[in-house]
Amino acid sequence: MPVRPFYPPMEAAAVQTLPEGDGWVYEPKWDGFRCLAFRDRERVVLQSKSGQPLGRYFPEVVAALAALPPTRFVLDGEIALFTEGRLDFDALLQRIHPAESRIRRLAAETPTTYLVFDLLVDDAGAHTTELLEARRARVGAFFETLPPDGVVRLSPATRDRDVAERWMRELGAGGLDGVVAKRLDAPYRSGERSAMQKVKRLRTVDCVVGGFRYGRASRDVGSLLLGLYDDEGRLNHVGFSASFTADERRALAPVVEGLIEPPGFTGDAPGGPSRWSTERSSEWQPLRPTLVCEVRYDHFSGGRFRHGTKFLRWRPDKTPAQCTYAQLDPPADATALASLTRQAG
């Protein structure tokens, strides 16, 4: 069961809407680490999407896979971490740490879940040339004798597009990343995107521009620094937007330079230099909090947008005071995602 050279997992093409019609099965798009799990008797190997070994970071998953009754298999799934019923990618990232003692402690304190959606190999041989409809039957049979709430779980699936749309609407607050649609009449195409589609749950929010950074070696604007007001009326730095063309960067400079005025952010402010930043990248210009813009984002966690946001438009019709955390998703239903992971599609 070789892992080097690594076996690329099948991937999904990004689309705007879920496909309709017969022949599709829909699955939750979990917010975690894609992982192929290889077991050959006592040996268990976890492989990331890029081919990197993951086993040392998730010893509880390795142990759970090693304890399963089947002794030879290759599974495709996602390693996820739930905190109070919500997917917690920030906590998951804490595992990527060089100290084994810390990893062992976190594995005990915040165990992860391995959500499986495909079976590629078992004792009967390889099944990658079989159609997904047959592989879904095999993975279902694989889990029939396993506990539904263990570390290793069967990821749910549905052929009902309305159910998948409801997942998108109702479970985003719990951190669900979107929905994946797969062709039931397709084999497992390693490294390809031809038989899978994904729709990510993207949201928008109005933010105050509390500052900006100049671009590298220029007087053009490199990024806008975004803020939201908390309940105490403090403007907290929550992320940035740098999705501008060269012409747009030049045009932004006269818009923001006339508003340079400290302090910019009155709560959490952009951080100073670190071992990852240069002196230039840590410098920022504070602005009088009058500009409001609408941005698109995928996830908000730990008090920040996890990735850079997409600038959509200026909002002169909105006052800065309206740019609060209340715009973000409401607290997640602590039971909704947990219930979903116990369903066998």
Q: Show which of 152, 184, 200 is a domain's final residue.
A: 200
Q: What pTM, to 2 d.p., does this model score?
A: 0.74
Read off the CATH number of the domain in which 195 is found.
3.30.470.30
If asked whether residues 207 and 310 sit together in one domain, one would say yes
- 29 classed as catalytic: yes
Examine the domain organization and report whether 117 and 18 are in the same domain.
Answer: yes
Q: Which amino acid is at 273?
A: P
Does 25 reside within a domain? Answer: yes
**Do 28 and 165 fall into the same domain?**
yes
243 contacts: CB under 8 Å, gap ≥ 6: 308, 309, 310, 311
- pLDDT value at residue 341: 65
Q: pLDDT 10s digit of each residue in the chain, 345 long?
A: 545 557 889 999 989 899 999 999 999 999 899 999 999 999 999 999 888 899 999 999 999 999 999 999 999 999 999 988 888 888 898 998 879 999 999 999 999 999 999 999 999 999 999 999 999 999 999 999 888 889 999 999 999 999 999 998 888 778 788 999 999 999 999 989 989 999 987 788 999 999 999 998 788 999 999 999 999 999 999 999 998 999 999 999 999 999 999 999 999 999 743 333 444 445 899 999 999 999 998 888 889 998 889 999 999 878 999 999 988 866 555 566 667 766 533
Query: Residue 56 domain-assigned?
Result: yes
Which two three-digit tokens encode residue 215?
A: 């671009």
Task: Please indicate, yes or no, whether residues 181 and 254 belong to a single structural domain of this protein.
Answer: no
Q: Confirm whether 313 is domain-assigned.
A: yes
Instruction: Point out the domain boundary residue: 140, 175, 200.
Output: 200
Q: For residue 189, is it within any domain?
A: yes
Given a contact cutoff of 8 angstroms between Cβ atoms, the answer to whether 345 and 132 are in contact is no
Structural domain of 71:
13-200
The CATH number that applies at residue 271 is 2.40.50.140
- Asked if 228 and 212 touch (Cβ cutoff 8 Å), the reply is no
Cα–Cα distance measured from residue 61 to residue 45, given in angstroms and rounded to the nearest whole number? 10
The residue from 29, 182, 198, 318 that is catalytic is 29
**In-domain check, residue 295:** yes
Distance between CA atoms of residues 121 and 118, nearest Å:
9
Q: Is residue 341, in this structure, part of any structural domain at all? A: no
| Total tally of structural domains belonging to the chain | 2
- Among the candidates 183, 200, 217, a domain finishes at 200
Distances (CA, A) of 238 to 84, 163, 260, 311, 324: 23, 33, 19, 14, 11
